[in-house]
Amino acid sequence: MFTGIVTDIGEIAAIAPGGQTGDRRFVVRTKHDMKPVAIGASIACSGCCLTVVEKGGDWFAVEVSGESLTKTHLGDWTVGGRLNLELSLKLGDELGGHLVYGHVDGVGKVVSMTPEGGSVRFVFEAPADLARFVAAKGSIAIDGVSLTVNEVDGDRFGINVISHTQTATTLGQVKPGQRVNLEVDMLARYVARLLEHEKS
């Protein structure tokens, strides 16, 4: 479990085939002290919960299944690419964002970025089957970053991103058309499920 508060921007140091056909192994360089992070621990990598299979002082390795590569934008990763990192939440930690599970629901895309006061207004497009879970003033995780939705228009939604968030995450480097991992608010999923159940 995570909060969507990014604690480091990592860098892909190496990519190799994984243990199974279609899988991939990524080595990620990080500023996190990896000594207390156990093998088998979870780290959110641009919103995707991955398991540490090997580590060093300033790096860790993860293996990603072919399924995850096709259902997220992890299949687009290249050596030198940057990604948002968050270590898993510990009992008693401050919950600064919202509850994020690291289970990517789908891949959206950046439509536009427009400066607006001291922030930038981002417009994203969600897959049609996910768009119904996105609500104005609700929470969403984009590449693992906890954000608040400003408005929704069909499959598109707008978010204002302050300069600190742009600097502390990879959102400061995205471009129109770029793919992003989306995780909708779990509460929205449960409410939709309850409403579907009441109708049937």
| Domains of the chain with CATH codes | 8-87 (2.40.30.20), 106-199 (2.40.30.20)
Mind listing the pLDDT tens digit for each residue in 85-143?
Answer: 999 876 656 666 677 889 999 999 999 999 998 899 999 999 999 998 999 999 999 99
Is residue 84 very low, low, confident or very high in pLDDT (cuts 50, 70, 90)? very high
For residue 190, give the amino acid letter.
Y
Share of the chain above pLDDT 90, in %: 76
Mean pLDDT of 163-183: 96
Cα atoms in the Cβ-side hemisphere of radius 13 Å centred on 155: 12
Q: Which pLDDT score, from 0 to 100, does residue 192 have?
A: 65
CA pair distance 35, 16, nearest whole angstrom: 24
* C-alpha 155, offset from chain centre: 19
CA pair distance 39, 17, nearest whole angstrom: 20
